[in-house]
Structure 1
Amino acid sequence: MTLFLASLAEIAAALEITPRAVRKRAQKQSWACLGETLQGGGRRYNVDELPLSDQEKTRIRAHLLLCVRPGSTVFTPEAAAPEAPAAPPGESRPTDEDREALWNYAAQKSAKNREGAARKAEAVRAVESLMARGTGITAACNEVGAKIGKGGDRVRVWFEKTRGVDPGDWVAILVDARGGNRPKKDPSPEVYDYIKADWLRIERPTFQAVYERAERAAKAHGWELPSLKTIKRKLENEIPHALIVLKRQGEDAYKKCYPAQERDKTVFRALEAVNGDGYTFFKYVRFESGEVCRPTAWVWQDIYSGKILAWRLDVSENKDQIRLSIGDLIEHYGIPSYFLFDSTRAAANKDVTGGVKNRYRFKVMPDEPLGLIPQLGAAVHWATPGHGQAKPVERCFGVGGLGEHIDKHPAFSGRGTQANPIPVEEFEAIMTAEIAAYNARRRRRSKVCNGKSFDEVFAESYAKGPIRKATREQRALWLLAPEPVTANAKDGSIKIMGNRYWCEELTRYKGKKLVARFDPANMHKGAIVYQLDGRRIGEAECILPAGFNDRNAAREVAKQKARRKKALREIEKAEIRINAREAAKCLPQETPPATPPSSKIVEGMFGKKEKSAETDPASAHNFEEIAEAMYLHSLK
């Protein structure tokens, strides 16, 4: 650790005040000095222990570091140890770290202050130039001071501060140290805590109102309260600006305090990654069912180009809308590799994202059926809701996007209220036209478009990249609604909304959990049944109930059973080609061994020997005769 020891003269030179002012200050504040006396009188003081401001101490340390020469007052205990050799005079120089700290201090000053330091450096150079011609230091300082309108003593102070300092550091060492030297009046901790609690809240009260309430509280409790400007300056200097914004303006404003992450879309190609989100329009629409409400559109956008690929309009954001919009996307363009959307209840439904482990929405069950996206072989990525940087599709809803061109379309002027709603057919027609115009608009400024339209950029990349198309079997994944079911434990039939479905393949899955896909608009058409992992079982027909006395229905059921039994008999003939008796003839006849195996080890009998009848007295008596005699005697 380095101790900074300075005399009053050196302190005065560092602070650019007269030695007399420093002596008066030392006497008034009772500065503690070291016991040793310097040559010529005077004492040294430990800079770290003086009652000075941090800026004043920094100025003194910088002055001592940059003015190192024989007889320097910078004292390092390690350097004073007898085993460490002293550096030769004239070779001691401030380190790069010291110079860096000095220039950092100078950078905190205003440009006007640094310009004044540059003028002081020019005056010092002029003094050195006169001294090189033989002029004395006093006369040179007086002459230069007269030219710049300063006293010779002031110029002499500048010259002494730069003595032994590299000329490149003169500007930093001559920066004005004034400012912050006045004693600061700190508030009481109680009133400071009160002001922070009152000012740093989401209601955003003005500081004037907060200070007025603090004055009343300080008067009642006897707290020390400085002026309004002092306390506000203390708050702004000590509390981070980001914390002030967070407490007074909220999370959204706090996020804007830091630069947003810039995402590079060129890592993708067309249709490789899509993102989706829902948007509720402000106009009221009358749907075919007669319901009047503000419609909600689910929109899928290509991340690479920004083109809107597919959309669906409905009364609200729901899982059927999202499932069918995915079908529209795949039917027109193909299967993307990545789907990006937020984990809302509608978007993260099990029909679409079932089996995704990191869903964080609804409970992930071990026997959960796979959703539409996992069955298509695509990955799901979750984004932060309402965060435009994470989902680019949200940007097409704002200013200049769909909300601007559809909600404010001239065809809807004066319409779209609850009393005068827009027919859904007309609204969808306008929406289709405006989305097409949105995709075809040129002069896009993104790095990918570079002046082209979304349509042009998408078409160029789409023509070059590999595209996965859906098969007929995969189309059923989004055209039919999925429903988890459990096969009947007796016959394997399944029930959906009160309707029974059955096929012969279901007899192998009695009592097991399955997934059935059906058309909600035509429940009697049948259902396609899958295992939980997505493997298809078969198409189950709807078993319609019949009247109790309906002979035709009973006759038809009997015929179906007869046909099934006949088909099974045909399968039996094809599969079972020998009966059980013929199978028994294939078994070899086993014969027992002629002689049993002999044992070479005999188990020993250990313990007490049995008593013979001759040696055992009890064996000589017949206990049954004795018992009978006793019974007869009791009868008498």
Structure 2
Amino acid sequence: MAQANYLTKNSHVAPGGWHEDDRRELPEEEAEALWKFFEDATAKLKQQAYRDTEACHAWQIMKAQGIHHQVALGELKKEFGLSKSTLYDKIARIKGYDPQHWPALLVGQWTGENIRQVVWHEEAWLFFVRNTLTPGCKIKIAWSRTKRQAEKECWGAIPSYDTAKNYFRKLDQDVVTLVKEGETALKVKSPTAIRDYNFPLHTIWSMDGRRMDLRVIDTKGKYGAAGKSFRLWIYAFQEVRSRMLLGYALGASLDADLVRGAFLNALKTTGLLIPRKIQPDNGMETAAKEHTGGAPWRRRGKVLEDEIIGTFPMLGIEVVWAGVAHGQTKPVERLFGTLAQMMETRPEFRGAYCGNSTETKPEEFGTPVPVGLVEQALNEEIAAYHRTPHHGHGMGGKSPLQVYAEQMKMPGVPVRKISQAQLRLCTYSAVPITIRRNASFTILGASYWSEDTTKLAPGKGYYARYNPQNLSDPVHVYRKEKRLCEAVRTELTAFNDKAAGKEIMKKRAAYTKAVKQSAKALQDLSNSDTQDYLNSLAAEVLPEMVDEKSGEILPAAQVLEIVRGRADPLQERKTTEDLENDAIREEAKRMQERQSKESAERVRQRARGGFSK
């Protein structure tokens, strides 16, 4: 009824009860900016603006009804808590404008724009910002320092803490994050890559190691000295497409041997299937040349010509290094987090769980558990993980075991499988060696020698593959990808052992005799260089150089391309008789090669002047 009376009485005036002379129009651009400012305001300010709008409507209605202004002010004071000056200030702000804009016009009164503010001294502001951007420094502490420094430097008054905090929060927060917390914290604000996992099985394996948050005790000495207490390391290989944990190894330390053990365990799981790519971490255990030698690495520089060919490049596996200090690039990191939650928080490990930081370490920590209990729990939780539904990309709510089995049965998907000889090569460690003048070399203090090593040029540039579990096994000498020979361990003899001395002298005599026979055969060959022999040798050794019709010598090719594998595999173990026969055949082959090469060179030299008839 009051609104009806108000509208009837003021039908001749502008909307809102204003006289036509008082009416003001708000341009469209200003109205848009005004309402954008309103939308950016807090919910509390918006609520107060709507309440003030209601109070202004009530004032206009009571004024139209002819109610005395003192009575109206009392009613508004009682209903809305507005004093006379406050109400008049609001009415002045909205006077002449359409009522639909009143909330946006009134919200501006609550931004503090009309409050007298202290202006920052330039040096005080720079001091405050420099302190606030210091890592770990809170805004309150920086403001307190600035206040003390302002009194000391006579910078005058500085803004209040709330005002200073608001000024600081107006800075670009991504820049503040970079300066105060670093690039790693800034990555959280940056766009996140969403990976596509729809690729064939065994395309890429992810590999990494983690130190468990459990204290264990090795009572049987499986991982070192018996009775030793330590935190166990785990190294694992994960098939990325199916999220299947293919293999792992446990140890007291993170090193190249632990990586090899995990890789062999993965090969056992897959039935000797290997990936096309492998994604190692940047740790030194995987950067060891016996694993990734021959592959470029950010700390290794260029690949040397005589560098060790590691296990993965040797098998033709492309090495794709993970991003530095960026665990999100390694899917196996997520797997480690899942296994840690599943296993390390089991009730039987209370007292052994140490947490992942000093802040999360339980007070009851200090009682290690037997390492066998940890191994059993790990096997149980890995089996449970393989059967747990996964909702990642390409999984469709299926478990890793289901996806792996389905992908293996898909037709037309090629997989790579190594041979038993290549598997044996994977079990061996690789180490650079130096051939001494006596044709011997050492590995971990053990000396090795063979007749074949005497034929190698002394010096560096060689590497040997050896069985790390038994240094008495024969080792294999390589140069680049080529397997050169095999060497056996030289056993130590007693100082006064007569039988051992005789045996050494016997071997030395046999070796000297074999060399002398080879030298004699070479001399006999050089003395038999008759014209008829050279003519027949030219047709036999260099048939492509002799024209069948004219008998003229044809030019030879300048470049020959040799196609071979990245590294020669290990040979099968042979009997003593087989080794002796092989040695005789190898010696005969070398003699023939030397004879043919020297004779062929003489043929070429004489061919330049023509054969005499």
> What TM-score, normalized to structure 1?
0.61
Q: Tell me the SS of whatever aligns to 2:135.
A: coil
> Within 5 A, what are the aligned runs for 1:194-209?
194-205=127-138, 207=140, 209=141
Kept in 2: contact 1:330–1:469 (CA 8 A)? no
Aligned to 2:395: 449
1:314 Cα deviation after fit: 1.0
Is 1:296 the counterpart of 2:233? The answer is yes
Question: Which position in structure 1 is the counterpart of 2:476?
Answer: 528
Q: SS where residue 358 of structure 1 aligns?
A: coil
SS at match of 1:312: strand
Q: Give 1:15-94 correspondences, 5 Å limit.
A: 66=28
CA change 1:412–1:222 in 2 (3 A) is closer
Structure 2's unaligned 5+ residue stretches are: 1-15, 19-23, 55-59, 68-75, 77-86, 355-364, 518-583
Tell me how far apart the structure 1 counterparts of residues 464 and 225 of structure 2 sit (CA, whole Å).
31
Q: Given the alignment, which residue of 369, 389, 403 partners 2:340? A: 403
SS in structure 1 of the partner of residue 118 of structure 2: coil
Q: Is the 8 A contact 1:273 1:336 kept in 2?
A: yes
2:571 corresponds to:
none
1:467 is aligned, of 415, 429, 438, to 415
Partner residue in 1 for 2:171 = 239
Instruction: Indicate how the Cα distance of structure 1 residues 410 and 156 shifts in structure 2: closer, same or farther if over 3 A, else same.
Output: closer
Q: Distance in 2 between matches of 1:446 and 1:484?
A: 44
CA contact (8 A) 1:272 1:338 kept: yes
1:269 paired with 2:220, answer no
Which of 421, 426, 432 is matched with 1:478 structurally? 426
Q: Aligned-pair distance for 1:297? A: 0.8
The structure-2 alpha-carbon separation of the partners of 1:227 and 1:158, relative to structure 1 and needing over 3 Å to count, comes to closer
Please name the residue that 1:42 is paired with: none
Gaps of 5+ in 1: 1-15, 19-59, 67-93, 123-138, 592-636
Q: Deviations over 1:37-96 (max 9, x none)?
A: xxxxxxxxxxxxxxxxxxxxxxx9x95x64xxxxxxxxxxxxxxxxxxxxxxxxxxx7xx
State the distance in 2 between where 1:506 and 1:99 align. Answer: 95
Q: What amino acid is aligned across from residue 452 of structure 1 in structure 2?
A: K
Matched, 1:348 2:287: yes
User: Cα gap change, 1:239/1:506 in structure 2, threshold over 3 Å: closer, same or farther?
Assistant: farther
Paired residue secondary structure (2:156): coil
Per the alignment, do residues 197 and 362 of structure 1 end up closer, same or farther by CA in structure 2, a change over 3 Å counting? same
Which residue in 2 is equivalent to 1:513? 461
Q: Deviations over 1:87-143 (max 9, x none)?
A: xxxxxxx7xxx8876765554345788899999999xxxxxxxxxxxxxxxx99x97
Query: Deviation at 1:525?
Result: 1.6
CA distance in 1, matches of 2:347, 2:184: 33
Match of 1:428 among 355, 367, 375: 375
> Residues 393 and 506 from structure 1, CA distance in 2 versus in 1: closer, same or farther, beyond 3 angstroms?
farther
Aligned partners of 1:479, 1:239: CA distance in 2, in Å?
58
Q: Which residue of 2 aligns with 1:625?
A: none
> Quick one: structure 1 residues 158 and 171, their matched pair in 2 at CA, closer, same or farther if it must change by over 3 Å?
closer
Amino acid at match of 2:294: G
Deviation of 1:408 (Å): 3.6
Aligned equivalents of 1:558, 1:145: Cα separation in 2? 136
Distance 1:422 1:177 in 2: 66
Which whole-Å deviations, capped at 9, do the CAs of 1:202-239 have from their partners, x for residues lacking one? 343461x5444433332232223344245334433432
| Equivalent in 212, 215, 225 of residue 147 of structure 2 | 215
Aligned position for 2:530: none
CA distance in 2, matches of 1:115, 1:419: 56
Question: What is the CA–CA distance in structure 1 between the aligned matches of 2:231 and 2:152, rounded to whole Å?
Answer: 56
The number of residues matched between the two structures is 477
Letter in 1 for 2:415: I
Residues 1:499 and 2:447 are matched in the alignment = yes
* Cα offset, 1:498, TM superposition: 4.1
Change (3 A) 1:161 1:472: same
In structure 1, distance between residues paired with 2:344 and 2:135: 32
C-alpha distance in 2 between matches for 1:407 and 1:510 = 53
Give deviations 1:162-204, integer Å, cap 9, x for gaps.
7xxxx9x979996865442445322212222333333333343
- Of residues 582-591 and 378-387 in structure 1, the stretch that sits farther from structure 2 once superposed is 582-591
Tell me by how many angstroms 1:515 deviates: 1.8
**Residues 518 and 145 of structure 1: CA distance in aligned 2, closer, same or farther (over 3 Å):** farther
Question: Counterparts in 2 of 1:183-202, with a 5 A limit?
Answer: 183-202=116-135
Question: What is the alpha-carbon distance in structure 1 between the residues aligned to residue 470 and residue 243 of structure 2?
Answer: 37
CA drift at 1:336: 1.3
Q: Does the 8 Å contact 2:128/2:143 carry over to 1?
A: yes
Counterpart CA distance in 2 for 1:578 and 1:338 is 43
Give the C-alpha shift of residue 157 in structure 1. Answer: 9.4
Percent identity (aligned): 23
Residue from 311, 322, 326 that aligns with 1:383: 322
* Greater relative CO, 1 or 2 (CA 8 Å, sep 6+): 2
Aligned-residue Cα RMSD (Å) equals 5.0
SS at match of 2:472: helix
Closer, same or farther: CA 154–556 of 1 in aligned 2, 3 Å = closer
Residue number in structure 2 paired with 1:279 = 210
How far apart are the structure 2 equivalents of 1:174 and 1:579?
A: 104
Q: 2:135 matched to 1:224? A: no
Q: CA deviation at 1:574?
A: 6.2
Indicate the residue corresponding to 1:328 in structure 2: 265
Amino acid at match of 2:506: R
**TM-score normalised by L of structure 2:** 0.63
User: Is the CA contact (8 Å cut-off) linking 2:237 and 2:246 kept in structure 1?
Assistant: yes
- Give the whole-Å Cα distance in 1 for the aligned partners of 2:373 and 2:512: 53
**What is the rounded CA distance, in whole Å, between the counterparts of 1:524 and 1:228 in structure 2?**
79
Q: Counterpart of 1:290 in structure 2: which amino acid?
A: A
Q: CA–CA distance in 1 between the matches of 2:264 and 2:370?
A: 25
Deviation at 1:551, TM superposition (A): 1.5
Distance 1:145 1:376 in 2: 98
Q: Is the 8 A contact 1:343 1:360 kept in 2?
A: no
Aligned equivalents of 1:477 and 1:568: distance in 2? 23
**Structure with greater Cα Rg:** 1
Shift of 1:535: 2.9
Secondary structure of the corresponding residue to residue 374 of structure 2 = helix
Match of 2:40 in 1: 108
Equivalent residue number for residue 541 of structure 1: 488
**1:278 match: secondary structure:** strand
Contact kept in structure 2, 1:501 and 1:543, CA below 8 Å = yes
1:421 Cα offset (Å): 4.9
How far apart, in 1, do the equivalents of 2:448 and 2:280 lie? 36
1:319 is aligned to: 256
Report the CA distance shift for 1:567/1:266 in structure 2 as closer, same or farther (over 3 A).
closer
Cα distance change on mapping 1:157 and 1:237 into 2, 3 Å:
closer
Deviation digits for residues 601-620 of structure 1, max 9, x if unmatched? Answer: xxxxxxxxxxxxxxxxxxxx
**In structure 2, C-alpha distance between the alignment counterparts of 1:253 and 1:479, rounded to whole Å:** 41
